[in-house]
């Protein structure tokens, strides 16, 4: 008896039988004819190798009304400059941006140059692995109760980099399920299910333009680089 401690709250309970993890199901098509137009905004600086891989992977997207906008921050690598010129000649918008690096200001500037209903913020080192990625994210983004939509992102070794941001990690916020193998179910399959989380990363984030403007975009003064998303 002396070793027994009384806990005033229930720590865990469940009914009979072992619960079964949920499985992801496809959302029905929410648009009558075609999906809303979308602009993918890609900030970049040099590193043609990353940007070219990213752009090439986007060409396979099954999204019918898509615009690419590359916002270039003072690239001075000759090979990158040649590639950016080639992109501009192929119909992809390339917008120069100079001055101190401010990720928030770059993206805010880019949003001000487009009128698309949907905006996709994308890092230049992301490679799309599935042609339907944008269609799936867009179907979530147009739901009125949803702010921004993030994607599950993997490291090159197929471990999870991002599957939602949760509060409380290291006293702040951090990526859930980080470094878990993508072929592992994890906690009740949660890394592989659509879900509500505290935040997502704009390494790949889709949001309706009107919602982005309603919160006045990114905070250029307080968060020029880290935590702007």
Could you report the per-residue pLDDT of 99-139, keeping only the tens digit for each? 888 999 999 999 999 999 999 999 999 999 999 999 999 99
206: β partners: 120, 149
Within 3-102, residue ranges assigned H as helices are 48-58, 78-89
Write the CB contacts of 163 (distance below 8 Å, at least 6 apart in sequence).
152, 153, 175, 176, 177, 190, 191, 192
Write down the pTM of the prediction.
0.86
- Residue 54's pLDDT is what? 95
| Residue 80 confidence (pLDDT) | 93
Separation of alpha carbons 220 and 112, rounded Å: 14
Q: Give kind and range of the element (H or E) at residue 109.
A: helix 103-111
Q: Does the pLDDT value for residue 14 go beyond 80?
A: no
Q: Confidence band (pLDDT; 50, 70, 90) for 23?
A: confident
Query: Can you give the pLDDT at residue 20?
Result: 72
Q: What is the mean pLDDT of residues 162-183?
A: 89
User: In which element (H, E) is residue 110 found?
Assistant: helix 103-111
Name the DSSP class of 159.
Answer: B
pLDDT band (50, 70, 90) for residue 19: low
pLDDT grade, residue 212 (50/70/90)? very high
Residue 70 has pLDDT above 80, yes or no: yes
* Mean pLDDT score of the chain: 89
pLDDT of residue 97 exceeding 80, the answer is yes
Burial of residue 203 (number of CB atoms within 10 Å: 0-12, 13-18, 19+) = middle
pLDDT exceeds cutoff 90 at 226 = no
Tell me the mean pLDDT in the region 9-18: 76
**pLDDT tier at 16 (50, 70, 90 boundaries)?**
low
Counting residues of the chain whose pLDDT is more than 70, the rounded percentage is 97
Structure tokens at 87: 């992109």
Q: What is the pLDDT of residue 140?
A: 92
- CA-CA distance, 198 to 181, in Å (whole number)? 22
Alpha-carbon span 33 to 151, nearest angstrom: 25
Two tokens, residue 95:
């917008």
Task: Report the pLDDT averaged over residues 182-200.
Answer: 89
Residue 215 has pLDDT above 90, yes or no: yes
């Amino acid at each position: 008896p002396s070793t027994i401690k009384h806990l005033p709250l229930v720590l865990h309970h469940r009914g009979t039988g072992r619960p079964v993890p949920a499985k992801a199901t496809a959302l029905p098509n929410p648009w009558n004819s075609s999906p809303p137009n979308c602009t993918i905004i890609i900030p970049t600086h040099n590193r043609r190798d990353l940007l070219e891989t990213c752009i090439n992977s986007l060409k396979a997207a099954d999204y019918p009304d898509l615009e690419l906008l590359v916002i270039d921050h003072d690239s001075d690598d000759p090979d990158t400059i040649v590639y950016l010129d080639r992109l501009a000649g192929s119909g992809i918008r390339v917008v120069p941006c100079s001055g101190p690096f401010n990720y928030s200001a770059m993206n805010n500037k880019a949003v001000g140059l487009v009128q698309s209903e949907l905006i996709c913020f994308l890092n230049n080192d992301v490679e799309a692995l599935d042609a339907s990625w944008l269609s799936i994210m867009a179907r979530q983004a147009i739901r009125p109760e949803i702010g921004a939509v993030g994607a599950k992102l993997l490291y090159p070794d197929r471990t999870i980099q991002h599957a939602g941001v949760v509060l409380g990690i290291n006293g702040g916020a951090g990526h859930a399920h980080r470094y878990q193998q993508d072929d592992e179910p994890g906690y009740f399959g949660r890394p592989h299910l659509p879900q509500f989380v505290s935040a997502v990363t704009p390494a790949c984030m889709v949001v309706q333009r009107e919602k982005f403007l309603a919160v006045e975009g990114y905070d250029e003064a307080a968060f020029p680089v880290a935590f702007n998303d």
